[in-house]
Structure 1
Amino acid sequence: MKHHVKRNVMIWLLATLLLMPSLFALTSKESAMSIDLAGKQHILIQRMVNDLQLISKGIDTKNSRADLLLSAKEFETILHGLQKGDKSLHLQATKLPAIKKELQKGERLWKEIKPSMRKPPENPKLLTEMISRLKMLQVTMDKVVKKYEKSIQREKQALALSSLVKSFMKQKKSENHVVNLAGKQRMLTQKMTKLALLVTLGIDKEANKKRLQQAAALYAKTLEGFAKGDSALGLEAAKSPEVVAYLKEVNAAWKPFSQNIQKIIGSGGKDTKALGYVVRHNEALLKKSHHLVQLFKKSGGKKSFMEKARLNIVDIAGRQRMLTQKMTKEKLLILAKVSPKQNDKKLHETIGQFDSALKMLVAGDASHRIPKPSNAKMIAQLRRVSGLWEKLKPIYLQKKTGKKALSAIVQGNPVLLKEMNKAVHISEVVADY
């Protein structure tokens, strides 16, 4: 596993680093794209292996078969493009004999495997053999990337590459981390509103007052960290003029919201005017916090397919945290008889959004640049989240919520948030998603 992770990190790094022609003297954009797409083949093969395993176990067979065929089609298109060129993919046919040889080997293996894609074998032995051949193909495609790497002028560039790799890893980790924390701000707007309602309703009042104070302090600290930098949070001061300007706008919305949160804490939930302000304005602050996430995603220059995919995963997984808090807030507003019809409609929409995004993270979604996960930790964590959600969802959907159901939500929601946060962290830091 460690060997594969290291190899995947190198594939990913090279795919991006080689987009800098001034340093590596690439002859064209197509040369860089060849490496990027050759690296992508590794992921496509892993998706095919995962789909075959799911099909063999009878798990989500319809979607798995559809995903298998899509991955196979994309793999074949890239394979042919690397050999013969493809204008739509910005690929030139390779002229390097060593790479040609490996691609021809890959073509032969693919021709043996392809006929079974439409109807995978039911015999376990034949299926195992098919997966084994796919892994052989994966090794071959990894060699293609290595051959491209060796075609670069290495002597004078070795030290520069080493330095750039370290710089690149730091930059990419930083970008994912910033998007993670910006996404967490979305969640905190809804968590604060949820906790304000719990304090007002007298549910575990003292503990929830403390949690509300902590959530407000974290939102303020992170917002300031984006503007000025914060080593404890791992943040550098934002440099993008667009982000810097928008942070002032977010801060302007946060100031009165924060003041009313403090009034709720100080009054022990008796200041209904302050609660009214929070209920009316929390989604405006959420909207601004969400827009800040999108600005951070756009900053930092041009990004490769894999970089965009990773940021989208961190964003969407991070958004799930917010939805766990938003649905609880809406359930509490219904129980408090605050615009019950409107909040019931919102609750169903929020549940639907959480449902569809969770399925997207589990199965992948090409339209949102979300690859199907192949990392064992991520797969296991998403299963844990799915298991918790399966138990909580029916309770959220209950028309009449008694004390027992309310207790299940109040106790289960923080656990769901915690497990979803673990998934976000994994998506931020793992090399091989």
Structure 2
Amino acid sequence: MKRRVFIASAAAAGMGLGAATVAHAQVADLNDAINKAGRQRMLSQRASKAYLALVQKVESRNAQQVLDRSIALFERQLGELKAFAPSPAIRATYESLETAWGAFRNELTDAAPSKEEAARVVKLDTAVLALANQGTGQYEAASGKPVGKLVNIAGRQRMLSQRMAKFYLATAMQIDPAASTAEIGKSRTEFVSALEVLRNAPEATAQIRQELVLADAQWLFFNRGLQRLEGAGASPALMSDVFVSSENLLAIMDRVTGLYSEIKT
């Protein structure tokens, strides 16, 4: 029997990332499309992270809410982005994403979380992430404006926060630990570099820079947790710290992405 996923209530509640996440029922403009398309990348990694947490009984209640809300928001935004698609090529990307998402969603919800299922979840999220990233790039190209690139970069930071936490939990479960550790390292390098780009962009407002100061502080805490896995191994307390700090970092970067998407130039 399928686990019950509270899609309707989750859709109403949003992701717990603030009003900006659920403010628009439809895509408002190309900046908003880039924001939402980029958020789909993040949700693929966030859903996997939550699933791995459930397998290891880390933040179980929180993880179940994160999983349910991620599924609901992904499906809502998928419909919005497909409907808004300004070209056949973009529409085709979202049709392919719909197929990949269906397989991934089934793996997330068809059975009780287990280590065997977790390895398949991590494998299936790869196709979803790749197509979501492709769609984000296509929307950025359709925009053709410098701010569109910044919305994409800021939005990608959300995904990287979840990707690092996901691979942290995968390493703790010994799901291809060498590759998982390498992926954390690659994501860490990209995340730090992108923070500099966002901070130094001419379009960065005082409010954006203020949020990035908060991101710096949260990143230090999150990164410390990631590094502790490499030294002392994973304990439930350490995994909980990484899970929670990844959610906090995500919330900040979601606000930064929203602020960049509101710039009209």
Report the TM range for the smaller structure's normalisation. Answer: 0.7 to 0.9
Name the amino acid aligned to 2:109.
Q
Cα 1:395–1:345 change in 2 (3 A) is same
> Is 1:348 matched with 2:185?
yes
- Provide the secondary structure at the position in 2 that maps to 1:276: helix
2:81 corresponds to which residue?
A: 226
Cα distance per residue 1:173-218 (max 9 Å; x no partner): 6110000000000000000000010111112324322321111111
Structure 1 residues 197-206 or 342-351, which shifts more?
197-206
Name the amino acid aligned to 1:352.
T
1:199 corresponds to which residue?
A: 54
Structure 1 residues 326-335 or 202-211, which shifts more?
202-211
1:378 corresponds to which residue?
A: 208
Task: Answer yes or no: is the 8 Å Cα contact 1:173–1:429 preserved in 2.
Answer: no
Q: Where in structure 1 are there 5+ consecutive unaligned residues?
A: 1-171, 229-236, 365-370
2:254 corresponds to which residue?
A: 421
Cα 1:202–1:403 change in 2 (3 A) is closer
Normalised to the residue count of structure 1, the TM-score between the two structures is: 0.52
Task: Answer yes or no: is the 8 Å Cα contact 1:193–1:329 preserved in 2.
Answer: yes
- Provide the secondary structure at the position in 2 that maps to 1:299: helix
Taking the aligned partners of 1:214 and 1:407, their CA distance within structure 2 comes to 19
In the TM superposition, residue 387 of structure 1 has moved relative to its aligned partner by 1.4
Q: Where in structure 2 are there 5+ consecutive unaligned residues?
A: 1-26
1:252 corresponds to which residue?
A: 99
How is 1:261-280 mapped onto 2 (pairs within 5 angstroms)? 261-264=108-111, 267=112, 269-270=113-114, 272-280=115-123
Name the amino acid aligned to 1:408.
D
Taking the aligned partners of 1:377 and 1:239, their CA distance within structure 2 comes to 31
In the TM superposition, residue 351 of structure 1 has moved relative to its aligned partner by 0.7
Taking the aligned partners of 1:426 and 1:297, their CA distance within structure 2 comes to 16
Task: Answer yes or no: is the 8 Å Cα contact 1:173–1:428 preserved in 2.
Answer: no
1:5 corresponds to which residue?
A: none
How is 1:233-382 mapped onto 2 (pairs within 5 angstroms)? 237-264=84-111, 267=112, 269-270=113-114, 272-299=115-142, 303=144, 308-364=145-201, 371=202, 373=204, 375-382=205-212
1:410 corresponds to which residue?
A: 243
1:13 corresponds to which residue?
A: none
Greater CA radius of gyration, 1 or 2? 1
- Provide the secondary structure at the position in 1 that maps to 2:175: coil
Name the amino acid aligned to 1:421.
D
In the TM superposition, residue 346 of structure 1 has moved relative to its aligned partner by 1.0
Cα 1:210–1:388 change in 2 (3 A) is closer
Cα distance per residue 1:258-298 (max 9 Å; x no partner): 1111124xx2x14x443332111212210111001011122
Task: Answer yes or no: is the 8 Å Cα contact 2:150–2:260 preserved in 1.
Answer: yes
Cα 1:204–1:174 change in 2 (3 A) is same
Identity percentage of aligned residues: 23
In the TM superposition, residue 407 of structure 1 has moved relative to its aligned partner by 2.7
| Structure 2 residue corresponding to 1:390, chosen from 220, 224, 233 | 220
Taking the aligned partners of 1:190 and 1:319, their CA distance within structure 2 comes to 11
In the TM superposition, residue 404 of structure 1 has moved relative to its aligned partner by 3.7
| Structure 2 residue corresponding to 1:216, chosen from 71, 77, 99 | 71
In the TM superposition, residue 414 of structure 1 has moved relative to its aligned partner by 0.7
1:160 corresponds to which residue?
A: none
Count of matched residue positions in the alignment of Structure 1 and Structure 2:
236
Task: Answer yes or no: is the 8 Å Cα contact 2:49–2:169 preserved in 1.
Answer: yes
Question: 4+ runs of 1 displaced by more than 3 Å?
Answer: 401-404
Cα distance per residue 1:85-132 (max 9 Å; x no partner): xxxxxxxxxxxxxxxxxxxxxxxxxxxxxxxxxxxxxxxxxxxxxxxx
- Provide the secondary structure at the position in 2 that maps to 1:214: helix
> Is 1:177 matched with 2:32?
yes
Task: Answer yes or no: is the 8 Å Cα contact 2:58–2:239 preserved in 1.
Answer: no
Task: Answer yes or no: is the 8 Å Cα contact 1:194–1:332 preserved in 2.
Answer: yes
Taking the aligned partners of 2:178 and 2:67, their CA distance within structure 1 comes to 27
Cα distance per residue 1:383-414 (max 9 Å; x no partner): 11111112221221221244443232122111
Cα distance per residue 1:303-342 (max 9 Å; x no partner): 4xxxx21001100000000000000001001111111111
Task: Answer yes or no: is the 8 Å Cα contact 1:263–1:274 preserved in 2.
Answer: no
Taking the aligned partners of 1:286 and 1:357, their CA distance within structure 2 comes to 19
